[in-house]
Structure 1
Amino acid sequence: MAGRHRRLSMRHALAVVAGALLGVGALYVPDRVENLAGPATPLAFLLAAAGGLALSVGYAVFLSGPLGDSGGGGYLHLSRTWRSRALGFLAIWPKPAAYAALVALLAEYLAGFVPLPAPDGVVALALLGGLLVVHLVGPVAVGRLGLVLSAGFTLFLVVLVAAGLTAVVLGNFFPLLPTPTLRERPVLSVGRATLVALFGFVGFEAIAALAGEVRSPRTTLPRALVSGVAAAGLLATAMAFVTLGVIPWPRLVFAQAPFVDAAASGLGVATALLLPPGIVAGTLAALVTLSWPATRALAGLGEVIPPLAHTNRFGAPDLACVVVFGLAAGLVAADAAFVALYLAVPGLLALYVAHGLTTAALPVVNPELYAASEFRPPPRLLALTGLTGAGLAGLLLWQSLTLDPAVVLGYTRVGPTVAGPAADPLVVDPLRSVVPALVGWETVGVLVYVAARDYREEVGVELEPLTRF
């Protein structure tokens, strides 16, 4: 899609991982986890990091092979492994809409947070319009902007961790299991906390969007993905350790932004001095990062819907960008982002389940594609990793199908943006929100797939054989 425009590097890929897995929610670590694990909360974050790595291994395998040269991402991974375009299309179909909804949510949140002499809706639309222009200018412009924002925000967090470590009191971790529930069911308690912390890894696969833009993608992207997920997980664990080490567990309930409160204590400054710039930086970093998978996932469907594959002279998938940002802008203008947010997290988790199962089956179902991958764990280890990732994603998906969308989104790194009036339309039973959204959107996907097939036949577009790999 953009082979001649490959000008991004490892640092740009790492910036995408950082922006997706840290974002504004990192400032509030370990919000919602400490109630389940108590002083053992850092352990839950460390275990969640291991789970994030299990999820990422499958993507690393595919990105290290011939499919890593193209930005098709999960669509190519599934369609080529199972030799079914319909399966790949329907599995990936919720992804562009999910990320477009998250982009709209972040734009609305930032517009409401920053006091400007204009209505929030106008500011949000201006943000989306500006980001669209950056995308149309080309991948290099988006990559550089994302690098500055993600690197700056990550450095901000690292400095806060270092400052907070100076104020840690190890006695805050004793007793490690202070309540009867924690002592009687430590594994169950920490396990539940780990699942909540694992929601922070939703969006890890955003890096696959750079497959068509980065130099030496088969080596760069797998390394950036695995190292980035590990680093983000360890940083989140360190933030949880600092928070519990500075603020005694029983008093965390009174913290405005737990991690920032703890770091401010170490620096000897007020939380209000650190939180606003952190929120702006984290939100902007996440906004730019999450626009990558939104646009590239849709462009990746250009094999099925040929017009979506069109790129301008800068290497940007212009039609896909216009559609994604048009959808996000429409949600903002209609004040209806919550409808698409019903789909956001469950749609991505369903994709992770499918991708994990595909990873496990790859050596058996498509040994040629497996053999062509440079990163190639032994088949049994790959099967174990893929099934583990699929199982973890399945547990998270079950949570998203039984809890209201506001709670589920609150577990993710966009959690702080789902508060106040923004949360009201999301407090809905999943049977009346998430399930109809998933079923309805997949039904639309079936209709689009059939219409696209008829369109290709009409204009004479022939697709390459799926037996190539």
Structure 2
Amino acid sequence: MKNGLKRELGKWHGYALMIGGMVGSGIFVVTGEAGAQAGPSVPFGYVVLLPVLLCSALAYLIFMSTPLGNSPGGAYVHISRTFNNYFAGFLFMWFQYIALLGVMAIMAISFGDYLSSVIGAGNTAILATVLLLVFYLLNIVGVKWFGVVQLVMSAVLFIAILVLVVPGVFFIETENFSPMLPNGVSGFIAILPSLFFAYFGFEQLAQAGGEMKDPQKAMPRTMLIGSFATVIIYFLISIVAFGVIPYDQLAQSQSAMFDVASVYLPAGGKWIVMVGIIMAFATTLNSLVMVVSRILFAFAEDRVIPVGIAKVNKRFNTPHIAITINTIIVLGLIWTRTLDYLLNVSLQGMFLMYIGHAIAMIALPFVRPALFQSALIKPKLPLIICCGVFSLSVLVFFSYTLIFSVFKLLLIWSAVGVVIFLFGRIQGKNKQFDYHKQLESAWQQESISQTN
């Protein structure tokens, strides 16, 4: 490709990126903590969120089936090209950028916590650092190797899920689901924003547009199938977990799924589950090291941040500078270790970006009819509007529940983003970069090479 990236990810790599990238974040980080508030109703929380999930996914299905799906950048490109405004796309994606950096730190720290609790030794920060640096090097040496390793780890994760769930359904105790709502309906509603954290993987797949083969057709299909598969996986794992161990005990566990497996699996089986849990954290972190670097890459390609960040390694065809910058930031987050705060910031950043994306979906047929007509997936306008408004309403509510706890940090982060944006624009104008042409060119191309 003209930007230096190579299309080396196929259909199965896409599934491994999306499903493998999402499963670790939700089921192994949030579920046990959510049980403390909502009790054994947590599995049904994942199902209740399905309509929000599908309405949010619709925006990605539409945008990824347009020529915009051929490029990295995800929601940043979708929003900026819809409104013909770099800053709108940048600001919403800037919030998502900090969210994903936070998720990277959460995954690495959670991996360290989990492994040290299981083996009874080891420093969490050191274990987290080692895992992050392994995936840093893997992502530097090429997206092909990233895809191979992600696929293998996802296969191991899937096997572990089968080992956990299939026999586990026969050990479910129905009395563990009573009371279903120990803190009432309000407790159930309170956990929904944090459970939605499990579905942040949309953006991961969209960011791979520059390296997927036949992305306009492959990515929407992968997203739709992957979304349903992820909901099913979340429901089955959590229903077994809360059915086997009472919710109050599960909420106190530092290695919840390993403890669940220990109830009914022989030694060999529970260690398979432990390896699967480690793979869940690893697949998520590996995918994020790749994905978050493509956000910076897309920013730099548009000259809204310094263009040098978009530099691609000539040997490996990877944006090594962007990958390195993100790794340094996440290492700082790991060693300051503010997990609870990071989770709230990550959730808020994710909600704000999805809000912007929903607005862009509603506006697309009206403000960019030619771009909308180029989509391979074009739902009827009433469906777009209804899904957009529903998704927007729920996401605004979720955002409102968290905004006050992270308001100051978001203001500071916004100010930092504005300064970097202005610096990038000044640099671009000094080099006579054609911003108008860049906005139009991404979606007016009728065909883009699906090979190198």
Provide the TM-score with structure 1 as the length reference. 0.81
The aligned runs of 1:9-408 (5 Å cut-off) are 9-23=10-24, 25-27=26-28, 30-34=31-35, 38=39, 40-111=41-112, 113-114=115-116, 121=125, 123-169=127-173, 182=184, 190-247=188-245, 257-267=255-265, 273=271, 276-302=274-300, 303-304=302-303, 305=305, 306-313=307-314, 314-332=316-334, 343-402=345-404
Query: Which one of the candidate residues 401, 409, 420 is aligned to 1:448?
Result: 420
Task: Render the CA deviation track for 1:374-395: whole Å, top value 9, x for unaligned.
Answer: 1111111012112222222222
The size of the alignment, in residue pairs, is 433
Q: CA deviation at 1:66?
A: 0.6
Aligned pair in 2 of structure 1 residues 272, 154: CA closer, same or farther (>3 Å)? closer
Partner Cα distance (2:149, 2:291) in 1 = 16
Worse-matched range after superposition: 112-121 or 258-267: 112-121
In structure 2, distance between residues paired with 1:247 and 1:126: 32
User: Aligned with 1:461: secondary structure?
Assistant: coil
* Counterpart-to-counterpart distance in 2, 1:4 and 1:30: 37
Gaps of 5+ in 1: 403-429
Contact 1:261 1:271 in 2 (8 A): no
Could you list the runs of 5+ residues in structure 2 that have no partner in the other structure?
444-452
CA offset at residue 133 of structure 1? 2.0
Question: For the structure 1 residues 455 and 229, does the alpha-carbon distance in structure 2 shift closer, same or farther, using more than 3 Å as the test?
Answer: same
Deviation of the 1:201 alpha carbon? 1.6
Give 1:457 deviation, angstroms: 1.8
Assess, with a 3 A threshold, how the Cα gap between structure 1 residues 364 and 437 changes in structure 2: closer, same or farther.
same
Provide the C-alpha distance between the structure 1 equivalents of 2:420 and 2:127, rounded to a whole number of angstroms: 33
Deviations 1:401-427 (A, max 9, x none): 24xxxxxxxxxxxxxxxxxxxxxxxxx
Contact 1:96 1:295 in 2 (8 A): no
Separation in 2, partners of 1:394, 1:331: 27
- 2:95 and 2:352 in contact (8 A); partners too: no
- In structure 1, C-alpha distance between the alignment counterparts of 2:399 and 2:390, rounded to whole Å: 14
C-alpha distance in structure 2 between counterparts of 1:86 and 1:381, whole Å: 28
Q: CA offsets per residue over residues 304-363 of structure 1, 9 Å max, x none?
A: 232232212322112211211122234446667888666432112211111111112211
Distance 1:459 1:94, change over 3 A: same
Q: Following the alignment from structure 1 to structure 2, what is the Cα–Cα distance between the partners of residues 365 and 96?
A: 26
After superposition, the CA RMSD in angstroms is: 3.2
> Shift in Å at residue 165 of structure 1?
1.4
- Equivalents in 1 of 2:169, 2:263: separation in Å? 10
What is the CA-CA distance between 1:288 and the residue it aligns to?
0.5
Percent identical pairs in the alignment equals 25
Quote the residue 2:448 is aligned against.
none
Could you give the per-residue CA deviations for residues 254-280 of structure 1, whole angstroms, max 9, x where no partner exists? 766555444443435599746643442
Whole-angstrom distance in 1 between the partners of 2:419 and 2:338: 23
